[in-house]
Amino acid sequence: MLEIEIDGKKVQVAQGSTVMDAANKLGTHIPHFCYHKKLSIAANCRMCLVEVEKMPKAVPACATPVVADMKVSTQSDRALKAQKSVMEFLLINHPLDCPICDQGGECQLQDLAVGYGASGSRYQEEKRVVFNKNLGPLINTDMTRCIHCSRCVRFGQEISGIMELGIANRGEHSEVMAFVDRSVDSELSGNAIDLCPVGALTSKPFRFAARTWEMSRRKSVSPHDSLGSNLVVQVKHDEVKRVLPLENEEINECWLSDKDRFSYEGLRSADRLTEPQIKHGGEWHKVDWQTALDYIVRSLKDIKTDFGAEQIAALVSPHSTIEEMYLAQKLVRGLGSDNIDMRLRQSDFSLDGKRAGAPWLGMPVANLSTLDATLVVGSFLRKDHPLMAQRLRQAVRRGGKLARVNVTSDDWLIPLVAQSVVAPAQLVAELAAVLAALAAKLNVSVSSECAEIVGSAIQSEAAQAVAEVLLTGEKRAVLLGNLAAQHPNAASIHILSAEIARLASASFGILGEAAGSVGGYLTKAVPTIGLNARQMVESPRKAYILLGVEPALDCADGAVAKAALAQAGTVIHIGSFVGDAAEYADVMLPSAPFTETSGSFVNTEGRLQSFNAVVKPLGETRPAWKVLRVLGNLFALDGFDFESSDAVRDEVLAGDFSARLSNVVSGVVPKADAEPTGLQRITDIGIYSTDPLARRSPPLQKTRDAAAPRARLNPATLAQFGIEAGSDVTVSSSQSRIQLRSQADMSVPQGCVRVSGAHASTVALGAMFGELSVERT
Amino acid sequence: MLSIESLRLIDREIAKYPTDQKQSAVMGALRIAQQEMHWLSSETIEEVASYLGMPVMAAYEVASFYNMYDLKPVGQHKITVCTNLPCALSGGVEAAEYVKQKLGIGFNETTADGKFTLKEGECMGACGDAPVMLHNNHKMCARMTCAQIDSLIEDLSK
Amino acid sequence: MSETKVILADLDGERTWRMADYVKRGGYEALKKIIADKTTPDEIIGLLKTSNLRGRGGAGFPTGLKWSFMPKAYVGPKYVVCNSDEGEPGTFKDRDILRYNPHAVIEGMIIAGYAMGCVAGYNYIHGEIFAEYQRFEEALEEARAAGLLGQRILGSEFSFDLFAHHGYGAYVCGEETGLLESLEGKKGQPRFKPPFPASFGLYGKPTTINNTETFAVVPFILRMGGEAFLALGKPNNGGTKIFSVSGHVNRPGNYEVRLGTPFAELLEMAGGMRGGRKLKAVIPGGSSAPVLPASIIMDTTMDYDAIAKAGSMLGSGAVIVMDESTCMVKALERLSYFYFEESCGQCTPCREGTGWMYRMMHRIENGQGRADDLALLDNVAENIMGRTICALGDAAAMPVRGFLKHYRDEFAYHIEHKRCLVPVELQREGSRIYVAQD
């Protein structure tokens, strides 16, 4: 540690720190634009010039390393003169359009100009004009306002991992742009808006919607992925106008994924369900809550009486709060059924009853950023976990090594040291090969469960290289992605990966599919003796309760789910949107999206985060936890006397529940998959197709990530079938056939076809895994 | 698409730098590409970027930063005249005026027949030989009197 | 009163750039000797220190001292880089060196590689001189074929390779860290220092960058000895220096003279003033150096210390001579345009300030000047100085301040009368196409 002095105040900082670091530690504000704690140092705006004793010129605080006994003045004449002249230079070509600028009121340039700017301008020449760019549906540009701080460019290079924006030309003609008017397609792109210190990059969906000072700011938690990003939801006239990150260094840092940031645009979708409705004679009728609830009580009682409670099934969205899930399972069990599940896209449930606890990340999220060696298994990492991918990217930037065993080699924008990319049915065998290689390198034996499969493993160079990675560094982890959880042989993947982690002395974790995935286990929104999500649709029931679920899109086999609903006597749809429920449901209850209810999520690291409603429920919408509570009362069930969602939460998750998190399983022997004959389907869930709210956000649906699914095949496979890339093809499953545009994709292994799920155009194909055939149309 | 010959030349540039620093060859690669294609279209820049395994925006930054890359089509003969002070003191501006008059175009313009484009240049490091001009970036024409300009343009017009 | 040629000696033939010719002139003897004698790096650096060789690119930093900054114990590659990105208006000496004596640069760089333990070197050559770039590539092939480059040079333990990198039109790459960025395949935007190239240079490795003329003279210093070289110049200003004389003289060209030669003698070597007109002003060290009026420069000797004392800089040794036909307003307008055009745009004061200064100069030159413009111009220049990442900001500001300091009346006249103080006919006379007859 060194001691330096800033404006007469002494502070101790580590060697290698900058003057800015020292000032931050002291709480001394030094004006700046290009400096950002999460980005590399550019020292280009020159706003942070300060005076340092014995230095002939003012120096930028952001880039000047501290030396012992340095004396810095941030307010001396020389420092102020430098800062004021820089401010003048910044303003000479900046438009005077603050009254119509969306950044007005939250603009660093505006704020600092008040302190460091002159009242009039000495600049009498013509101001520069820069043409605006179309960067896609999320970011609006007004490039004349740009002050060239390069934060947005560095963000791309360093954080999102893709340099979509650059500064072209030079001198005064420099301008931030994307290559020939391309859009910015990164799933983290919205952060560039936050980083822009002026109004050059602003939110397109939010454009002209409100002034920052007119909105109230309310804390919330993202309902989308398993990270549970902290949000600031900005509200005006009881309407959500914008979502920004609430900084939490341990979770989302200062970032948000675009999904978390822009999904709110779906809240006011025309498809919102705002009144209870009952289908009568094929027609939907708006009814009051009492009528709707009475109808439900009657129908379920009838079915229970006529067919037995086991004919009642509940499918719960994994994006539900713990309060919703807890009450849902309490209701279903109160009715005498154990058919409840929130693991809608899973197809292998053979670990049920063998788990020691709720599957979770196995470590704090923040630790991802400092891992030395990581193996990710079965994941569309970048799209499924944008910010956790970002943390792994930082780990690699720090020198960590990343390897994967996966079914596609799609670009994670992270340099990989090793990878093994195989068809889904080979995934288990490949993991066995990695485990065998690791055991051989360490000269240890594998567990008895794994011994047989490892014994028959076929070695590959790739598997050796992957194993090698796990022998490096000190902080190691093996992480399972969504595909690993959804795989038809998920149990074997889990056991082999856990064994790899054990041998490598690595942490073992599950990245987690959704905001409620951990909560679903903790609240027992999973069956103990009853039917799981797959069985509930494969063995059709008489009555279904759907909580926030659109089964055709949210289940592992949407076609089978649809068929099950079609034959049911009663389908109760509790959700925020109508969707296809109008076809299959008998009663629809409008439940609150996350912005209109209080509730809690337990994120993948096991962190409980509660939030309040930020706006009033729209129309007759009610928080789902209240609806379920009233239903419990109407069924005269015990234990439904909750006054608040907090009370529900405290009942299910009182005290420290960390002991209930565990990835340990026992008593299952991994088994190899059979060698398939046809093309194997690989299914990803589009980043903006994951859940009903994301699916209804117009700006997100306009992004490239939301483009209609294609049949993506390796060029070699295309050639083998005589299909020209880009032509229309017929894709058939055992259930049906659909038309899709084909696409050559080197990242897809040979003998496979990648077709995205959770999309209306591909539901008919059925299961996420299995065999498909592809023919020229 | 760049020719095999150009790609070979680019490979020679790549070989000058450490194996993990292929991006160092981007300036040479863009120069070679421009020599073949006569100007740098977005497609050409993209091809160069992907050949070197670098982000296309990074290649575009380079192409747009250095003066001698042409991001728009230019005439068959691009003539760049230095008008900077040392040249101007020995008639650089007068020489440029003479070329303008002779070709009937101004700076940054191309003759109707697409033969000549005229550009104003900055210091070429040959001030002792003023007036100086560059023909198609690579050929320096020094001590350009009116008679020299006449014969240059006559030669190029053939 | 004549030239004292070292680098430019015996370069009258047609093929002086060929290796065989260079060897005949004693070329590569210095390199062969240090390899045969196993001369230690410290001895070579000590010799350079004795010679008082100062960097010929512009800053005049002592070369021996610079080489001694390279970390000796560093594990991993170190680089030596030659700055042949000669784009400072008025400077054209490096082009002649590359044209007529490229092997001197190559030998100097190999010796530098030897003295600093570098694995490779790059010569960054100005974009506009493609022919010289190609010639340098050929010279490298000759050296490589002769076993002077590559693995185990001349059978020794020393391995070193050298490559040419061609620029493509950006003055700012003459700034050493802008040059490094460019060499890495990026925009030539200078880096903030510290860290300095000696610790974080090319590809983040320790790197030493010197000017072409500096490297070219190294073999000669090794041959003649440090004291002898120092004696060619004057204390603290060792050796000879090539001056590029341009503008209103009868014989513009490069003149290699002893440091400390009176300006008047240099002017005479360049054939004296053109057309018998009177000397008005001289920019003694490239366009970035403050201008000096005739009265001052005629009493000054050409060396680092004397020019600094006179209020300017020796810089790259580019001597721009202006006679009485020169309108100082127009001259400064052109220079201001140059810096505006060449600013890399990275940091605020330079990006915004160069455009501001040029636009004001353009107005004044075009009869749109305002009474308070000169004070504002001076103040804008002052506000740029010392606040930018690299020296280009200062380079843009110094001419403005220099011109205003010595020729304020001429600027004021322009603003007041909306025309030049120098009669237009005289100006026209002075800016005619002029080519010296050999």
Q: Which residues contact A80 (CB under 8 A, 6 or more apart)?
A: A116
Tell me, yes or no, if B71 comes closer than 8 A to chain A by beta carbon: no
Q: Which band of pLDDT confidence, cut at 50, 70 and 90, is reported for residue A181?
A: confident
**Residue B131 is part of which domain span?**
77-157
Whether C120 shows a pLDDT value over 70: the answer reads yes
Say whether B125 and C187 touch across the interface (CB within 8 A). no
pLDDT in tens, chain B (158 residues): 999 999 999 999 999 999 999 999 999 999 999 999 999 999 999 999 999 999 999 999 999 999 999 999 999 999 999 999 999 999 999 999 999 999 999 999 999 999 999 999 999 999 999 999 999 999 999 999 999 999 999 999 98
d(CA A249, CA B151): 70
Say whether A49 and C192 touch across the interface (CB within 8 A). no
Q: What is the pLDDT of residue C92?
A: 97
B128 interaction partners in chain C (CB closer than 8 Å) = 92, 244-246, 252-254
Mutate to test the interface with C, among B16, B35, B65 (most CBs of C within 10 A): B65
Tell me, yes or no, if A711 comes closer than 8 A to chain B by beta carbon: no
Residues B135 and B84 in one domain: yes
B143 interaction partners in chain C (CB closer than 8 Å) = 435
Mutate to test the interface with C, among B10, B12, B27 (most CBs of C within 10 A): B27
**Degrees to nearest 5, angle at CA C278 with C275 and C284:** 105
- Nearest chain C residue (CA) to B29: C185
Residues B35 and B92 in one domain: no
Q: What is the pLDDT of residue A777?
A: 86
d(CA A47, CA A35): 9
Say whether B58 and A166 touch across the interface (CB within 8 A). yes
Whether C299 shows a pLDDT value over 80: the answer reads yes
The dihedral formed by the CA atoms of C95, C97, C101 and C102, expressed in degrees to the nearest 10: -60
Q: How far from chain centre, in Å, is Cα A38? A: 20
Contact A594, A221 (CB under 8 A): yes
Supply the CATH number for residue B37's domain.
Answer: 1.10.10.1590
Residues B81 and B145 in one domain: yes
A180 interaction partners in chain B (CB closer than 8 Å) = 42, 60
The mean predicted confidence, pLDDT, of chain C is: 96
Residues B53 and B102 in one domain: no
Say whether A122 and C354 touch across the interface (CB within 8 A). no
A126 class by beta-carbon count within 10 Å (0-12 exposed, 13-18 middle, 19+ buried):
exposed
**Phi, psi angle pair for A169, to nearest 5°:** 65, -170
d(CA A345, CA A555): 5
Q: How many CB atoms lie within 10 A of CB A601?
A: 27
Tell me, yes or no, if B66 comes closer than 8 A to chain C by beta carbon: yes
Structure tokens at A69: 């006994």
Q: What is the pLDDT of residue C171?
A: 96
**What is the tally of structural domains in chain B?**
2
Say whether A178 and B57 touch across the interface (CB within 8 A). yes
B116 part of a folded domain: yes
A705 to chain B, closest Cα gap in Å? 20
Whole-number CA gyration radius for chain A: 28
Q: Give me the mean pLDDT over the A86-103 stretch.
A: 94
Nearest to A391 by CA among A696, A605, A557: A605
Say whether B127 and C165 touch across the interface (CB within 8 A). no
B71 part of a folded domain: no
A438-467 pLDDT tens trace: 999 999 999 999 999 999 999 999 999 999
Residues B108 and B132 in one domain: yes
- pTM of the predicted protein model: 0.96
Residues B19 and B90 in one domain: no
Q: Omega into A692 within 30° of 0, i.e. cis?
A: no
- Scan residues 141-180 of A and list those with Cβ closer than 8 Å to B: 162-170, 178-180
B131 part of a folded domain: yes
C181 interaction partners in chain A (CB closer than 8 Å) = none
B64 interaction partners in chain A (CB closer than 8 Å) = 168-170
- Scan residues 4-63 of B and list those with Cβ closer than 8 Å to C: 16-18, 21-28, 30-31, 52, 54, 58, 61-62
Which chains have at least 3 CB atom pairs separated by less than 8 Å from chain C? Answer: A, B
B96 part of a folded domain: yes
Supply the CATH number for residue B88's domain.
Answer: 3.40.30.10
d(CA C325, CA C322): 8
Whether C1 shows a pLDDT value over 70: the answer reads no
A74 class by beta-carbon count within 10 Å (0-12 exposed, 13-18 middle, 19+ buried):
buried
- Nearest chain B residue (CA) to C427: B89
Q: Which residues contact A471 (CB under 8 A, 6 or more apart)?
A: A373, A438, A441, A442, A504
A47 interaction partners in chain C (CB closer than 8 Å) = 348
Give the residue from B13, B31, B65 where a domain finishes: B65
B141 part of a folded domain: yes
Question: With left for phi above 0 and alpha for psi between -120 and 50, is residue C90 left, alpha or beta?
Answer: left
Say whether A179 and B64 touch across the interface (CB within 8 A). no
d(CA A414, CA A375): 13
A734-772 pLDDT tens trace: 989 999 999 999 999 999 999 999 999 999 999 999 999
The dihedral formed by the CA atoms of A542, A547, A549 and A550, expressed in degrees to the nearest 10: 50
Say whether B65 and A168 touch across the interface (CB within 8 A). yes
A233-244 pLDDT tens trace: 999 999 999 999
Say whether B23 and C184 touch across the interface (CB within 8 A). yes
Residues B150 and B86 in one domain: yes
C340-370 pLDDT tens trace: 999 999 999 999 999 999 999 999 999 999 9
B42 part of a folded domain: yes
A460 class by beta-carbon count within 10 Å (0-12 exposed, 13-18 middle, 19+ buried):
middle
Question: With left for phi above 0 and alpha for psi between -120 and 50, is residue A7 left, alpha or beta?
Answer: left
Q: Omega into C62 within 30° of 0, i.e. cis?
A: no
Which chains have at least 3 CB atom pairs separated by less than 8 Å from chain B? Answer: A, C
Lowest mean pLDDT among A82-86, A117-121, A319-323, C18-22: A117-121
Residues B117 and B57 in one domain: no
Nearest to A89 by CA among C396, C291, C368: C396
B72 part of a folded domain: no
The mean predicted confidence, pLDDT, of chain A is: 97
d(CA C245, CA B86): 9
B83 interaction partners in chain C (CB closer than 8 Å) = 334
Whole-number CA gyration radius for chain C: 22
C356 interaction partners in chain A (CB closer than 8 Å) = 89, 92, 123, 125
Residues B107 and B58 in one domain: no
Residue C215's H or E segment, with its range, is: helix C212-224
Q: What is the pLDDT of residue B50?
A: 97
Q: Is A362 helix (H, G, I), strand (E, B) or coil?
A: coil
d(CA C236, CA A761): 81
Say whether A164 and B57 touch across the interface (CB within 8 A). yes
Q: Which band of pLDDT confidence, cut at 50, 70 and 90, is reported for residue C438?
A: low
Say whether B61 and A166 touch across the interface (CB within 8 A). yes
d(CA C387, CA C374): 21
Q: Omega into B131 within 30° of 0, i.e. cis?
A: yes
C228-276 pLDDT tens trace: 999 999 888 889 999 999 999 999 999 999 999 999 999 999 999 999 9
B70 part of a folded domain: no
Whether A78 shows a pLDDT value over 90: the answer reads yes
B113 class by beta-carbon count within 10 Å (0-12 exposed, 13-18 middle, 19+ buried):
exposed
d(CA A738, CA C355): 61
Mutate to test the interface with C, among A44, A80, A148 (most CBs of C within 10 A): A44
Say whether C185 and B123 touch across the interface (CB within 8 A). no
Q: Which residues contact B117 (CB under 8 A, 6 or more apart)?
A: B74, B75, B77, B78, B79, B105, B108, B109, B110, B111
C128-173 pLDDT tens trace: 999 999 999 999 999 999 999 999 999 999 999 999 999 999 999 9
Residue type (1 letter), C248: H
Contact B75, B116 (CB under 8 A): yes
d(CA C258, CA C260): 6
Residues B58 and B85 in one domain: no
C51-65 pLDDT tens trace: 999 999 988 899 999
Residue A776's H or E segment, with its range, is: strand A771-776
DSSP letter string over C66-89? HHHTS-SS--S--EEEEEE---ST
d(CA C217, CA C51): 11
Give the residue from B21, B39, B65 where a domain finishes: B65
- With an 8 Å Cβ cutoff, the interface of chain C facing chain A consists of 170, 172, 187, 192, 194, 340-349, 351-356, 359-360, 363, 370, 376, 383, 386-389
Tell me, yes or no, if A57 comes closer than 8 A to chain B by beta carbon: no
DSSP letter string over B28-88? HHHHHHHHHHSS--HHHHHHHHHHHT--HHHHHHHHHHSTT--SS---SEEEEEE-SHHHH
Mutate to test the interface with B, among A179, A184, A189 (most CBs of B within 10 A): A179
B70 to chain A, closest Cα gap in Å? 12
Q: Are strands C292-293 and A283-286 parallel, antiparallel or unpaired?
A: unpaired
Residues B149 and B89 in one domain: yes
N residues, chain B: 158
Q: Which residues contact A247 (CB under 8 A, 6 or more apart)?
A: A230, A253, A254
Residues B92 and B135 in one domain: yes
Whether C437 shows a pLDDT value over 80: the answer reads no
Q: What is the pLDDT of residue B158?
A: 87
State the residue for tokens 């439900």. A296
